[in-house]
Chains A and B, each alone.
Chain A
């Protein structure tokens, strides 16, 4: 197995999703880490409705620009099921941001690209009115958990057999 060539020193720039051609390299990147692929409709569900919440990290590789990181999110109204003492009693819905997918090119890991993407997306969701942000991460994915927890997310609940592989997930939540 060939070791990926590191891209440690190449500068990183961040841009917002604009068109379908931006999506294809991002899908390629995300699928590297997935045991099962998402259908194209899943990606389009996100990026067509919330293009501003799809942020891409690019770097120069020789003469071409490569996508080395991506975050895909959404923000929607969420019906409250539990009085939680934080939001006003008469509120039946709240705005919930959701981080659907995050991926960083293996060659660029350790440079804070994932954290930056998350921080940027959280800020955008906050500006869009999000009151809380949630996501799911596999219980064994220590790297992802450490990243989100360093940013203040807490493990709200555990989801039994959440993935096709039978692995559990944590629902992580950040209250804004």
Chain B
């Protein structure tokens, strides 16, 4: 036995070190044991298991280090805590202070804080035993028992409703919800009706105080408390009606919740309009204990977090009410197109809806394998495909299902299919739909995550959509071969030719996949992931994807138009549409073509906007208005390591690496054909033939076209079916107009438009830019060399040798590039002249269009003297 083990045994046997706490737990003082155990360690030595990760290290704490040990009470903490007394008789002004602070706690909790960091801090919230006369008018401590505790019970009931929603795990732990601490039994002590009864008693008491109390400050506090009480009652009702259980069981709950939310919004608005007296509420010392986590040893220790302010809390409450108001239109949606637009709009809301709202939207959309509380996911997905691929294939399938023999007798072409197994067609389609339903449900759920996670998951899911498209293509080819029958010429070959095969299922899948790709790229704009120098690449790539999407939809439109009316051959008995949910209703040819037309306008105008922004950002890059950070930073005094590092970034190899990293999610997809870096360089090379001024002009025209398309076509489309398009079209119109105005401003400045730099072809300008960057870096290297000279003597010697070698190399390079340099200098002078007349304000996104950049050129000085 080692000395340590021997000591350990002796230590454990020593009963004097064992103590009992008030709960009967036995505690062993291990101070001596720890001292013994660590005596052979070196200072700073770390013993760790293999399993210890960085996360383990980050979440470790130093016991009795007050900045890390959240359970440790300092002397100051002890003094503060001792000030609170449960039996203290509270005035209404004190109750108001506690109520308001609890409201801030509640809203901070809704903003992803832990219960320990918020509500549990309130000592009234966590008392072991509730005073016996709570809710009774005969209580002596009316402020506490008649007003405060009922308000706390109501708050607890609200929190419990929210917590039940969180337990569905629709939103993420740590990022959105803290599951480390959970509501204690305190929340469940009273039923909703008991709580409402107690609030009624409190209401009467407060009204009475308002009328009879001699102290005007107490009267004023009673009035504010009444407002909080009224809002609490309606808030609780709203939460109850909006719970998925209630919405499922009671058809009237949706309307009642909507009415409650409207009432709450009105009450809240009125409340905010009333003057605030900051002196009215009176603080209760020791009432909130920021180190309350010591009372809950099983819960994860979290560090205190600042509560939201009064203004922030009410803003959060307003956001909650507005967010929950979206449940009503969500449940009223009557097409998948409308839902896609709803979720796209929801995903882009700024600020991101609070976790509770996002969770509830997910629950309402999909709970217990039921979409929107009543539709099956497979029926829903079939509807989604119908809206895009038209009725043809579905009518055929339904006809087989209803009357297989009659169908066979009417259609020789499809008799072949029946010869194999009529139900096989149906089961194969169902199998695909189940798989597709999983993908689509995941996508909708993803749109309800916080914005950064939306992008990450969307890009991750692209691979599964790619696989699904493969499955869909197989299904399409099979369906085509079987349905064409033996009379068709070479059906196997035709089955893979888009000119013959409409590709019903894979067309829809491809449409969805392209949408996902577009969202992924645009989400990066919203999240500010792209720097200015990356914009030509991002918009250029986006334009290519959008063009593929447009071509695809156009092909579908042609195909569906060509099949229109042909399905009448197969339609048996008309369906009783009125008695089925909208997901099962037939989508006719014209309805499908309308859906496609709306998508086409949306995709076409986005493609035009992306193209225009690509041209503008490329021109700005060419003119040196935007510069990559390693080329524009002031690097004086930087070390050689840094300078060499920066210089590498300009190389084609580095550009190719960044390209691969930025688009790596797309690089493995089977379709659309991924754009390679070489392909991208070729595409960019096509712009070389145009000068920067021509690019600006072309961009202006493209923006004009987009605006015209939106103005001319959207009015009719929106009138025929809103479907949530209005907001989307308005956003695109805003982008088109804002950027067109910026370009018009630039083009109206003669000094800017007559600048010789604008006339330089792209390839030449890029060479100049690279040369100038290298020259600049060369100069800065010399500067850095001077700085390095102050280092130690031996290092200085080495540097001197290096410097000699570099100087010789530089001299050689300078001779070779002398002629080009003078041209580059001229170009630089021209761009400087441009810079003097045009101030580039970094392009930014706008709340009106968070997924697009808005360029802005401020004409600061006009060299021609004409002004602006």
Contacts and interface: CB of A to CB of B under 8 A. Distances in A.
Interface string A89-111: 00000000010100000000011
Contacts of B642: 112, 115-116, 118-119, 151
A138 interface: no
Contacts of B48: 45
Interface string B140-175: 000000000000000000000000000000000011
Contacts of A13: 791-792
A3 to B, nearest CB: 21
B495 interface: no
A49 to B, nearest CB: 9
Interface in B545-589: none
Given A39-B61, A119-B641, A146-B629, A154 B43 contact: no
Interface in B616-658: 629-630, 633, 635, 637-639, 641-642, 644-646, 648-649, 654, 657-658
A84 B668 CA distance: 7
Interface residues of B, number: 65
Contacts of A81: 460
Interface string A112-151: 1001101110110000000000000001000000100111
A85 B641 CA distance: 29
Given A11-B791, A44-B44, A39 B657 contact: no
Q: Which of B48, B54, B305, B665 has the most CB of A within 10 A?
A: B54
Interface residues of A, number: 55
Q: Which of B57, B527, B649 has the most CB of A within 10 A?
A: B57
B62 interface: yes
A175 B657 contact: yes
Given A13-B792, A116-B638, A151-B646, A156 B661 contact: yes
Interface stretch (B251-259, B361-369, B421-429, B451-459): B451-459
Interface in A145-176: 146, 149-152, 154-161, 164-166, 168, 170, 173, 175
B60 interface: yes
B641 A150 contact: no
A39 B68 contact: yes
Contacts of A38: 58
Contacts of A160: 175-176, 450-453
A85 B668 contact: yes
Contacts of A122: 645
Given A11-B790, A39-B68, A146-B633, A152 B638 contact: no
Q: Which of A122, A157, A164 has the most CB of B within 10 A?
A: A157
B111 interface: yes
B54 A74 contact: yes
A45 B630 contact: no
B664 A84 contact: yes
Nearest to B529: A155
A82 interface: yes
A85 B46 CA distance: 39
A36 B61 CA distance: 12
B67 interface: yes
A93 B179 CA distance: 32
A154 B662 contact: yes
B660 interface: yes
Contacts of A74: 54
A157 B661 CA distance: 11
A84 B660 contact: yes
Contacts of B635: 112, 150
Contacts of A165: 305
B657 A86 contact: yes
Contacts of A68: none
Interface string B279-305: 000000000000000000000000101
Given A48-B46, A146-B629, A39 B664 contact: no
Interface of B: 42-46, 48, 52, 54, 57-58, 60-62, 65, 67-68, 111-112, 174-176, 303, 305, 450-453, 455-456, 460, 463, 527-531, 534, 629-630, 633, 635, 637-639, 641-642, 644-646, 648-649, 654, 657-658, 660-662, 664-665, 667-668, 674, 790-792
Interface of A: 11, 13, 19-20, 23, 36-42, 44-45, 48, 74, 81-86, 98, 100, 110-112, 115-116, 118-120, 122-123, 139, 146, 149-152, 154-161, 164-166, 168, 170, 173, 175
12 contacts: A11-B790, A37-B67, A39-B60, A42-B57, A74-B54, A86-B664, A115-B642, A119-B642, A151-B645, A152-B645, A156-B661, A175-B657
